[in-house]
Amino acid sequence: MSYSLGIDAGGTYTDAVLLDDENETIIESSKSLTSYPDPLEGIRGAIEGLDPDRLKEVKVVSVSTTLSTNSILEGTGSPVALILIGNFDIKEELPTNHYLQVKGGHDHNGIETNPLDTESIKEFVLKVKDNVSAFAISSYFSVRNHDHELCAKDIITELTGLPAVCSYELSQDLGAFERAVTAFLNAQLIPVTERFMTTVEAEIKSRGIDAKVFMLKCDGSVIGIQNALKKPIESIFSGPAGSLVGASFLAKSESCAVIDVGGTSTDISVIYNGVPEMSDAGAVVGGWKTRVKAIKMETSAMGGDSHVWVKGKDINIGPRRVIPLCRAAVLYPDFLEQLKANPIPSKMRLGINYQPTKFYLRTDYQAIEASPEEMEVLGAVKKEPTSTTEIFNRIKKYPASKIFDSLIQKRLLQPIGFTLTDALHVLGEYTERNVEAANVGADMLGSIVDMDRQEFARYIKREFSKNMACDLVSFFLEGVEKTEIRKIFDIQSPAKFKIEVPIVLIGGPVSAFVKEMQEILDAEIILPEYSNVGNAAGALAAKGIRRFEVLIRPASMAAPDWEFLVFSEHGRSNFYEYQEALDYAVNLGETTVLSYMKDAGLDSNHIKIDVKKEEVIPQGWKTPMETKLVILGVGNRNTEQECC
């Protein structure tokens, strides 16, 4: 008998499931609160909830996580410096204040347009190295020639030893700015992902489990752990990808839409005939367009732990995640009394960071680039819940709201506040934690907007349901403003949106929303067994997939039959015969795919490789003006092949 172990570390819960490999059914599941900022305790707790005898027979471990996505959504990634090489026309705000633009870059054929300004790079690197944890590099047309990015990377490695990410390593698509953002986010996520995967691997080994470890990617495929550590950006939507694959698996529905409610975000996606719908453009997360290929998805910073706060008569949901009051009261025995005694801030001070239900915790993260004002606040916050009133008493002033924003963004403070999870506790629909703390919070916030606790909690739940429905409809109605769609759900009308495919609900608290969604939408709503661990199930249902893209073009349009250039992630090569260039490209792709699958722990005898070729041949031309190749390898991650 052999089993597979699926683990999903979300913003709130870490889930684990055991799959019986013989009949491909889930036989056991377990949940534990995600530990922050170190995920070890959450992972350990989830695994300990499973049968230890079965764990000894586990041959495959597959992991998905929303931690990377949440880091970007919340703006809490590590500080990164960005180097732009070439003639960038920067019209958008860059994701960091630490950036440099220097001369260099190449043209569309990979020919150098300007020598690389290495001296400016050295000066910049030495200037910022103590204020950042990694570097990102993007050069103009680096997909056609990597030399300048690699040279900058060598300088950074020599002078700092810090991680440096080149944009060509992550995407072969044109769009230097989008590649720059992709490289930046990847560099930002390296410490988070490395810490997470190292923790998972160490915990597995400590239990004597001899298994191969995989990580779910954002396209719904799995990747070997070592490759995952090189490209953590590819895990940004592994949680949603897991929910999509897992929902289809659990609901036994080859075609369905999925609403995945996590602690930090709600994600919408769709699968047709067992194949996830992929985005034509790069994934967009936190407002940043990337060149990462991912499932088509609508995501919003609205989850079970999204902060509910009031100002005036307005009730706001999100965008930040906080520790729910009901959970804080369990973690910290004195918190309930603290909450009851906390005063309501004045109307002038009331805001996202000043609420009667808002408290702060000091994390173990090291303070990098913290201002004197920030250090003063940090000194006043303990590792137990600390109110703004307590902070005032210790430093004799109320800190500016932007100070709290900055400290939360840097992960130096973790906030506590009222959430949707608390609202469900008030309503008696989800009561795993301290109900009294949720009631106290609802009383406090409700009094500000003239509602009793039940009214306040019902309002939050209804608004959350309408937001979910709006996200779903917006996913299908591309080009229609979401704000306009959202207005429709506030209108009392017998008309409903009809959704033709089943809607599968995934996530811890989703059972509370079945009736609400049936009232709002005309659709089949499915709540499958094990819906609360759908992402972990998806990590096990995924396959190993590797895409390799190649572009072949004439070196000169004036003499299109004379010389041919081959561009790929391995660099640029040239050939004098088109067939020679084509054979080289196909062989390079197949070799790369097989090598990748081998590194991922997949048996090459169980891998299927398809070659898709698109040619552009103008009238009168003997050879193509452009050839695009996609070499796609798919490997089944079954335990039979793993054990051979």
Q: Which amino acid is at 568?
A: S
pLDDT at 66: 66
- Range 341-345 average pLDDT: 92
Q: Report CA 641 to chain centroid distance, whole Å.
A: 30
Q: Which amino acid is at 168?
A: Y
The full DSSP string for 521-564 is: EES-EE--TTGGGHHHHHHHH-EEEEEEEEEEEES-SSSTTT-E
SS3 234: helix
| CA distances in angstroms from 17 to 5, 213, 304, listed in the order given | 6, 15, 21
pLDDT band of residue 250 (cuts 50, 70, 90) is confident
| CA distances in angstroms from 252 to 53, 288, 489, listed in the order given | 29, 34, 30
pLDDT at 143: 79
SS3 472: helix
Upper half-sphere CA count for residue 288 (Cβ side, 13 Å): 26
Indicate the burial class of 495 (C-beta count within 10 angstroms; 0-12, 13-18, 19 or more): exposed
pLDDT at 642: 38
DSSP state of 290: -
Which residue from 289, 298, 305, 243 is spatially nearest to 74, judged by alpha carbons? 305
Which residue from 504, 506, 514, 513 is spatially nearest to 532, judged by alpha carbons? 506
pLDDT at 70: 61
Strand 13-20 to strand 25-33: parallel, antiparallel, or no bridges (unpaired)? Answer: antiparallel
| CA distances in angstroms from 349 to 218, 405, 429, 447, 612, listed in the order given | 41, 15, 33, 16, 60
pLDDT band of residue 585 (cuts 50, 70, 90) is very high
- Range 162-176 average pLDDT: 75
Per the structure block, which two tokens stand in for 542? 């995924």
CB < 8 Å & 24+ apart, contacts of 110-116: 110/141, 110/144, 110/145, 110/565, 110/567, 110/572, 111/145, 112/145, 112/147, 112/148, 113/86, 113/87, 113/140, 114/86, 116/85, 116/148, 116/151, 116/152
Distance CA 64, CA 432 (A): 24
pLDDT at 524: 92
Q: Taking 80 as the threshold, does the pLDDT of residue 292 lie above it?
A: no
Strand 413-417 to strand 497-498: parallel, antiparallel, or no bridges (unpaired)? Answer: unpaired
* pTM beyond 0.85, yes or no: no
3-73+192-295+534-541 to CATH, choices 3.50.50.60, 3.30.420.40, 1.10.3720.10, 3.40.640.10 = 3.30.420.40
pLDDT at 625: 92
- Residue linked to tokens 């070592």: 226
pLDDT at 187: 77
Q: Which residue has the higher pLDDT, 11 or 152?
A: 152
Q: Taking 80 as the threshold, does the pLDDT of residue 368 lie above it?
A: no
Q: Taking 70 as the threshold, does the pLDDT of residue 291 lie above it?
A: no
**How do residues 22-66 score in pLDDT, each as one tens digit?**
777 889 999 888 876 677 788 889 999 999 889 988 888 888 776
Give every CB contact of residue 122 below 8 A, 6+ residues apart in sequence.
155, 159
- Helix 534-541 crosses helix 238-251 at what angle (to 10 degrees)? 90
- Range 383-410 average pLDDT: 91
Give every CB contact of residue 400 below 8 A, 6+ residues apart in sequence.
373
- Helix 435-448 crosses helix 453-476 at what angle (to 10 degrees)? 90
pLDDT at 545: 66
SS3 625: coil
pLDDT at 438: 97
In the chain, residues under CATH classification 3.30.110 are: 543-643
Q: Which residue has the higher pLDDT, 238 or 42?
A: 42
The CATH number that domain 543-643 falls under is: 3.30.110
pLDDT at 643: 35
pLDDT band of residue 225 (cuts 50, 70, 90) is low
Q: Taking 50 as the threshold, does the pLDDT of residue 640 lie above it?
A: no
Q: Residue 93 in contact with residue 128, Cβ under 8 Å?
A: no
Q: Which residue has the higher pLDDT, 333 or 605?
A: 333
- Range 163-184 average pLDDT: 75
Helices (H), 161-237: 176-206, 225-230
Q: Residue 531 in contact with residue 510, Cβ under 8 Å?
A: yes
Give every CB contact of residue 116 below 8 A, 6+ residues apart in sequence.
85, 102, 103, 104, 148, 151, 152
- Range 590-610 average pLDDT: 76
In the chain, residues under CATH classification 3.30.420.40 are: 3-73+192-295+534-541
Mean pLDDT score of the chain, rounded to an integer? 83
Q: Residue 544 in contact with residue 551, Cβ under 8 Å?
A: no
Q: What percent of the chain has pLDDT over 90?
A: 31
Largest CA distance in the chain: 84
Distance CA 64, CA 12 (A): 14
Q: Omega of the bond prior to 37 within 30 degrees of 0, cis?
A: yes
Distance CA 476, CA 621 (A): 42
